[in-house]
Amino acid sequence: MTIHPQFGASVRKTDLENFKNSPQWNGKKFQNLSTTTMNVSLKTLPKLLKENFTNTADRMPHQSLTVMGLDEKAFMADEESPKFVWYGHSVLLMRLKGKNILIDPMFGDNASPIAPFKTKRFSENTLSIIDTLPDIDAVFITHDHYDHIDYKSLLKLIPKVNNWFVALGVSRHLEKWGLDAAKIQEFDWWNEGEFEEVSFAFTPSRHFSGRGAFDRAKSLWGGWVFKTSDHSIYWSGDGGYDHHFTKVGDKYGPFDIMFVECGQYNEHWHQIHLYPEEAVKAVMDANANIAVPVHWGGFSLAPHHWKDPISRFEIEALEQKQAHFTPSLGQVFGFDDMNSPNPWWKNID
């Protein structure tokens, strides 16, 4: 099975040499800042797989979620004012200082391409969105899971993008799929870089990685901070609650906006995915002004209803008086658009 292109590449000797320089590498695998486990065993696994991959219709929208076509004029206007477009789950198109940046470009229709059961996207024909995007100046990737790196999406993007900034160990997949190694830069936690007028840093999260049976935790995972002369943005990446949110806030905050993971949680893997209430707390820990919950609205990757993440997040954010915004799929939005709520999901069954 590992010869299927979806798996990406195995760890190379050169990767292992690079990993030795990382404080996160223990000689065999990457590790989180705090001890992290999953409450899954051979005894519980069959039940969990059945819960996760069956009866999904009861957890999904009763209709396909519409993705708005890109309003390119609105997106490209005013280079000094950041613009954003969320395409569901963890796909974000962002315009900073006149540069178009794409984060975790998983536009495919299936988040479980090697599993016996398909994890169907809530929206139709999303892979074709790539053909409608403006020129992309840079792609940023948080980790190598299938719901964040999609083989079919990458094949469409690789010929079009010259700058790729990825978590340590992820380049091997991209190179196997045809990307020139010279176009890729890998980052360890707290590594910083610059792209034109945008400064950025790769930040810790509490998660894991791997695309096959033998590469678990053989590449790193994390989030991204973006800073310009006028704005500061935090993309949390996937991961459970821990003290790293405070550390990131202390080092790089305060933030104008934080895109925070909110969805695909379960008690059996609580330490690697935030509960919605913890997502609100993470925003407050990081000292972010406006919260935008992501990692929902795209797939059912956990046995909870598709609205559960955003419903619980909204209740907690209102309770904590935390400013937040929920963009429609494909909507171009900036800071001026986030002054009023946009509960689009409430009108859909």
Is 86 among the domain residues?
yes
**pLDDT value for 93:** 98
**pLDDT value for 116:** 80
Which residues partner with 202 through β-bridges?
Answer: 224
**pLDDT value for 49:** 63
Is 64 among the domain residues?
yes
Strand order in the sheet with 288-294: 192-195, 198-203, 223-227, 232-235, 255-261, 288-294
From residue 245, give the alpha-carbon distance in Å to each of 76, 78, 88, 197, 237: 31, 31, 23, 25, 11
State pLDDT tens for residues 241-291. Answer: 999 999 999 999 999 999 999 999 999 999 999 999 999 999 999 999 999
Beta carbons within 10 angstroms of residue 70's beta carbon: 19
**Does residue 43 register a pLDDT over 80?**
no
**Does residue 53 register a pLDDT over 70?**
no
- Structural domains counted in the chain: 1
Q: Which residues of 27-45 are buried (b: 16+ CB within 10 A; e: fewer)?
A: eebbebeeebeeeeeeeee
Return d(Cα 143, Cα 14) in angstroms, integer: 19
Q: Are 226 and 237 in contact (CB under 8 A)?
A: no
Return d(Cα 148, Cα 143) in angstroms, integer: 7
Q: Which tokens is 299 given?
A: 């797939």
List the domain range (segments joined by +) for residue 129: 11-336
Split at pLDDT 50, 70, 90, the class of 1 is: very low
**In the predicted model, what is the mean pLDDT of residues 63-77?**
97
> Mean pLDDT of all residues in the chain?
94
Is 349 among the domain residues?
no
To the nearest whole percent, how much of the chain has pLDDT over 90?
A: 89
State pLDDT tens for residues 90-125. Answer: 999 999 999 999 999 999 999 999 888 899 999 999
Is 229 among the domain residues?
yes
* 0.85 exceeded by pTM: yes
Q: Classify burial at 233, counting beta carbons within 10 Å of its beta carbon; exposed 0-12, middle 13-18, buried 19 or more.
A: buried
Which residues partner with 99 through β-bridges?
Answer: 96
Is 41 among the domain residues?
yes
Is 344 among the domain residues?
no
Q: Which of 227, 230, 224 is nearest to 261 (CA)?
A: 224
State pLDDT tens for residues 127-178. Answer: 999 999 999 999 999 999 999 999 999 999 999 999 999 999 999 999 999 9
CATH code assigned at 125 = 3.60.15.10
Is 129 among the domain residues?
yes
Is 345 among the domain residues?
no
Strands 232-235 and 255-261: parallel
